[in-house]
């Protein structure tokens, strides 16, 4: 008689899902032992998170059902024990990497951080126009300005005002062109006032923008990151382990080295890079002459190096700049401008590369330790959620 192997039994156990954690018991480290006897009897020990685990009978049934499908199995016996404290905290850690904040972001399907290695390459312009382009493609989109010191999204999307708070004490984002939901620190401070918070305050602000804003149902939440690879990006990665990065770079091959830093950071915090957008990619005069003012090829080089798609090459365009300055995204005002065409193409690339179904939402995450290390946040309260 052919007996199944340990691997075959393990494979079958991957079909046994913990309904609360929505992952299989192998992945969760809950399979303590598999014993295959000569006569085809298989014993499986499943480790529960708590002794009185209410889903014990579900596991019992699912393990028997799946393992008995294997050839050579004559019977399946399931026994239970309990994870040790150490194992439980390890599981907690694994889960911690796969949670979206509950509540406010529970209905956001895709979070995309727009990042770059250095400032001024057009992250904010891309965030604003991509959000508008995604909305124009029929997706629901939001734009979160995570550049707390140098916020620019309200201006670029032409939204101002002070957001209201709903009955659940969540902040209601303001709506920009094409129905893009916008949230920025700029809505809460006096015009042109400088933001002078330190690390823990920044962390708290970003956390509030993610957890205390009523984002509602969104296909895409685009996050405009500050330049560089500092604190804010780390905070976001901690809060949004399922987010993806779109990296903006300029075309000179030397910029690729700088932009790579953003990719390295994404890698360090375990976030996937969705693609590269090359911005300021050549300038074409009205009579059709093309000048490659900032060089050429950097976007493609970086995309190749990271093995991700080049989502678009957005040319230099005075109209792109002036429309951003005036709060009317060019992709909506003039969708046929070469810069708009390139951004709309990038938006379609994002649509093609991202899931259209809701991600699995896990139970509420443990409180996240702020920069001061003890989990509490010091300093002045943000002027939100009073």
Ligand X SMILES: Nc1ncnc2c1ncn2[C@@H]1O[C@H](COP(=O)(O)OP(=O)(O)OP(=O)(O)O)[C@@H](O)[C@H]1O
Binding to ligand X by CB under 6 A, coded x per residue (else -) over 338-357, reads -x------------------
Using the minimum distance from each CB to ligand X, give the nearer residue, 36 or 265. 265
Q: Quick count: other Cβ atoms within 10 Å of Cβ 174?
A: 19
Q: For residues 247 and 182, is the Cβ–Cβ distance under 8 A?
A: no
**Applying CB under 6 A, does 155 fall inside the site for ligand X?**
no
Binding to Mg ion by CB under 5 A, coded x per residue (else -) over 79-118, reads ----------------------------------------
Q: Quick count: other Cβ atoms within 10 Å of Cβ 80?
A: 16
Closest approach, Cβ 166 to Mg ion, in A, equals 29
Helix (H, G, I), strand (E, B) or coil at 13: helix
Q: Which of 16, 121, 182, 346 binds ligand X (CB under 6 A)?
A: 121
Q: Which stretch binds ligand X (CB under 6 A): 28-36, 144-152, 233-241, 269-277?
A: 144-152
**Applying CB under 6 A, does 122 fall inside the site for ligand X?**
yes
Q: Which residue has the tokens 């300093």?
A: 379
What residues does 244 pair with on adjacent strands?
A: 112, 272
Residue nearest to ligand X as judged by C-beta position: 119
Closest approach, Cβ 119 to ligand X, in A, equals 3
Closest approach, Cβ 362 to Mg ion, in A, equals 31
In this structure, what token pair is assigned to residue 59? Answer: 């596991």
Q: Which of 31, 44, 314, 370 binds ligand X (CB under 6 A)?
A: 314
Closest approach, Cβ 204 to ligand X, in A, equals 21
Q: Quick count: other Cβ atoms within 10 Å of Cβ 328?
A: 17
Q: Which of 19, 54, 120, 383 binds ligand X (CB under 6 A)?
A: 120
Question: What is the chain's length?
Answer: 386
Using the minimum distance from each CB to ligand X, give the nearer residue, 230 or 363. 230
Binding to ligand X by CB under 6 A, coded x per residue (else -) over 212-231, reads ---------------x----
Strands 272-279, 244-249: pairing kind? parallel
Q: Which of 47, 66, 152, 242 binds ligand X (CB under 6 A)?
A: 152
Alpha-carbon torsion angle 312, 317, 319, 322, nearest 10: 100
Q: Supply the DSSP string of 358-371, one letter for each residue.
A: PPPPPSPPPPPP-T
**Applying CB under 6 A, does 247 fall inside the site for ligand X?**
no
Closest approach, Cβ 336 to ligand X, in A, equals 16
Among 67, 61, 66, 96, which Cα is nearest to 80's?
61
Closest approach, Cβ 324 to ligand X, in A, equals 4
Closest approach, Cβ 320 to ligand X, in A, equals 5
Q: For residues 70 and 321, is the Cβ–Cβ distance under 8 A?
A: no
Element (H, E) at 175: strand 174-175
Q: Which of 124, 229, 317, 362 binds Mg ion (CB under 5 A)?
A: 124
Residue ranges in 164-223 that form contacts with Mg ion under rule CB under 5 A: none
Using the minimum distance from each CB to ligand X, give the nearer residue, 155 or 204. 155
In this structure, what token pair is assigned to residue 87? Answer: 């194992």
Q: What is the DSSP letter of 5?
A: P
Nearest-angstrom CA–CA distance, 362 and 110? 15
Closest approach, Cβ 103 to ligand X, in A, equals 29
- Left, alpha or beta for 22 (phi > 0: left; psi -120 to 50: alpha)? left
Residues that bind ligand X (CB under 6 A): 116, 119-125, 147, 150, 152, 227, 279-280, 314, 316-317, 320-321, 324, 339
């Amino acid at each position: 008689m052919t007996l199944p192997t340990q691997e075959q039994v393990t494979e079958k156990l991957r079909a046994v899902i913990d309904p609360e954690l929505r992952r299989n018991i192998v992945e969760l480290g809950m399979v303590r032992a598999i014993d295959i006897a000569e006569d085809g009897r298989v014993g499986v020990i499943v480790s529960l998170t708590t002794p009185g685990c209410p889903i014990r009978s579900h596991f019992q049934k699912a393990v028997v059902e799946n393992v008995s499908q294997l050839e050579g199995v004559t019977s399946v016996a399931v026994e239970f024990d309990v994870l040790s404290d150490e194992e439980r905290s390890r599981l907690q850690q694994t889960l911690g990497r796969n949670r979206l904040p509950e509540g406010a972001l529970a209905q956001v399907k895709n979070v995309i951080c727009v990042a770059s290695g250095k400032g001024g390459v057009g992250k904010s312009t891309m965030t604003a126009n991509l959000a508008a382009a995604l909305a124009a493609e029929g997706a629901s989109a939001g734009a979160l300005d995570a550049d707390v010191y140098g916020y620019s999204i309200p201006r670029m999307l032409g939204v101002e005002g002070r957001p209201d708070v709903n009955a659940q004490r969540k902040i209601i984002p303001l709506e920009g062109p094409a129905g893009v939901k916008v949230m920025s620190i700029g809505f809460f401070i006096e015009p042109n006032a400088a933001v002078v918070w330190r690390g823990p305050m920044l962390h708290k602000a970003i956390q509030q923008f993610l957890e205390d804003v009523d984002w509602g149902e969104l296909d895409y939440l685009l996050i405009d990151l500050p330049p560089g690879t500092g604190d804010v990006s780390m905070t976001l990665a901690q809060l949004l382990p399922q987010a993806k990065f779109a990296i903006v770079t300029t075309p000179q091959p030397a910029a690729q080295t700088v932009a790579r830093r953003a990719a390295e950071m994404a890698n360090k915090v375990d976030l996937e890079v969705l693609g590269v957008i090359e911005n300021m990619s050549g300038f074409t005069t009205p009579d059709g002459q093309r000048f490659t003012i900032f060089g050429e090829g950097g976007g493609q080089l970086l995309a190749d190096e990271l093995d991700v798609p080049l989502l678009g090459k957005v040319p230099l365009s005075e109209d792109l700049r002036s429309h951003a300055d005036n709060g009317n995204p060019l992709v909506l005002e003039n969708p046929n401008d070469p810069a708009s065409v390139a951004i709309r193409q990038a938006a379609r690339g994002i649509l093609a590369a991202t899931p259209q179904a809701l991600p699995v939402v896990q139970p509420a995450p443990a409180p996240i330790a702020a920069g001061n290390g003890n989990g509490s946040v010091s300093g002045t309260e943000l002027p939100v959620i009073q």
